[in-house]
Amino acid sequence: MKKKVVILGAGLAGLSCANQLIKEGIDVTVLEKEKFAGGLAASHTRAGFFYDLGPHRFHSNKELVINFLKDLLKDNIISVERRSEIYFNDKFIIYPLVLSNITSCLPGGVLFKCSYDYIAAKIKNIFDPDPKCTFESWVERNYGRKMYEVFFGAYTQKILGIEPSNVSPDWAEQRISIPDLSTAIIKSFVKTKNNPRTFASLFYYPREGGIGRVAELLKERILRKGGKILLNVEVKRIKSSRFNGGKDVIQSVSYECAGQKYEEPLDYLMSTIPITDFLFLTKNKNIDLSICEKIKFRSIICLYLVLNYDHFTPSHWIYLPERRFFSNRITEFKNFSDYSLPSDKTMICAEITCQYNDKKWNMVEEEIKDKVTNDIRKLGLKDVDNGAVADYFYHKVKEAYPIYTLGYKDNIGVATRLLSSFHNLDCFGRNALFKYGNMDDSIEMGLNAADKYLRNSEMNVHSGDY
């Protein structure tokens, strides 16, 4: 009999894993709570537009992942030259930072203070090595205090909702891939191979269908080869029993779909859902669920404006770090690809981070729209009044970013040890590992999880054998 694998979550990690397993004859069922596949990398349609949940671009230095993407998209792939900016002090500053642009955009006093603090930080590091104890200290030691205040501190607080002094330095090491400003200055004049992630100027994107075309093609392959992908599913319980010298073996997943209750028996369970959700679903008396209260995710609201313009800005996205802006970042999807979009209109997406069920989360759609249009007016690009807005709507995502508080690794370590008590379980993906990552990371984790399972497939993990 074929082994039965159930995968929780139809994001890129879960779909990539399922696609590999189904090719090897494994019986695979994917359970997804949303009405669509793709997770954060899904695309949606409205008013003739394909649109994403904020800006998504595919870039990687991993040949395995790039080949996987090209094989999937075939001729429906384009290479795009990235253009992103930071709007600060009523100026558009190119990001990644370019020396000539910084000197023309920043006031002389700010530029002098940035330079002075940067040099002082480098001298201080010689005599007092960086302990890297917080996000704030990491940036201050690598860039200087003024650069932290201008570019990094306020924006990080907007994204995560906590003071940067309470954020782990891991957030800086993952989000800011240029270790010091001297590298940025060199890269402004000299292009070299193997640039850090932030300097990836070219990226891949589907010609048609938005970034969600990647997930849709994976879904089509899985279904065509006999796999199952069930959408709009509410998982109720992960049932396990204690076997094999104290190890728990997962036997089935209970869920509801279209008003019906089901129980799916399995040999092996793979999970990409939030680690906290998984622990609650086990309903295991041996697991102390209090750890879940210490593991927090940041939510996001994406507000979309359909505008009566053919284009609005030349940038793919613009960061808004200053507190006077309600939004964190705005994106124009037409600049990623305009092959399948209306020629006389464009669409802007504004991202607003919040906590699930807080004041922002519960704002009515029109109030969010008014705040976003006010943000856009401040940019001084084009009029968003006088009938410029043809349509508006929003999407909400409950778990968008892991919040790297100080000591978060200890909490994740406790949760991981609890999960390790299950013999036939593998957790991977952004939310399951509580690790911020990009699309290429999710795909790679899915491929690696499938490879790990297939290499160990000779091990009999069926619960009835214990």
The CATH homologous superfamily of the domain defined by 4-36+212-293+405-465: FAD/NAD(P)-binding domain (3.50.50.60)
SS3 label, residue 444: helix
pLDDT of residue 461: 43
- 291 within 8 A of 416, measured Cβ to Cβ: no
pLDDT of residue 177: 61
The pLDDT of 457-466, averaged and rounded, is 45
> Is the pLDDT confidence value at 286 over 80?
no
Cα angle 400, 405, 406; round to 5: 160
Q: Which residue has the higher pLDDT, 456 or 209?
A: 209
pLDDT in tens, 351-361: 999 999 999 99
Domain ranges of the chain: 4-36+212-293+405-465, 43-77+200-207+297-402, 95-192
How sure is the predictor about 197, in pLDDT bands with cuts at 50, 70 and 90? very low
- Overall fold of domain 43-77+200-207+297-402: Polyamine Oxidase; Chain A, domain 2 (3.90.660)
* CA distances (Å), origin 42, targets 65, 258, 377: 18, 22, 29
> Is the pLDDT confidence value at 410 over 90?
yes
pLDDT of residue 462: 40
Residue ranges of E strands in 355-408:
389-402
Polymer length of the chain: 466
**Burial (CB count <10 Å: 0-12, 13-18, 19+), residue 230:** middle
Query: Is the pTM above the cut of 0.95?
Result: no
Look at 87-101, 254-268, 298-312, 416-430 and tell me which has the smallest mean pLDDT.
87-101
Contacts of 158 (CB under 8 A, 6+ apart): 321, 323, 328, 353
- 284 within 8 A of 248, measured Cβ to Cβ: yes
pLDDT of residue 393: 96
Reading the block at residue 400, the tokens are 């968008």
Contacts of 200 (CB under 8 A, 6+ apart): 59, 82
> Is the pLDDT confidence value at 232 over 50?
yes
Give the burial string for 175-189 (b: 16+ CB within 10 Å, else e): bbebeebebbeebbe
pLDDT in tens, 16-65: 999 999 999 999 999 999 999 999 999 999 888 899 999 998 988 889 99
pLDDT in tens, 412-443: 999 999 899 898 999 999 999 999 989 999 99
The pLDDT of 208-212, averaged and rounded, is 95
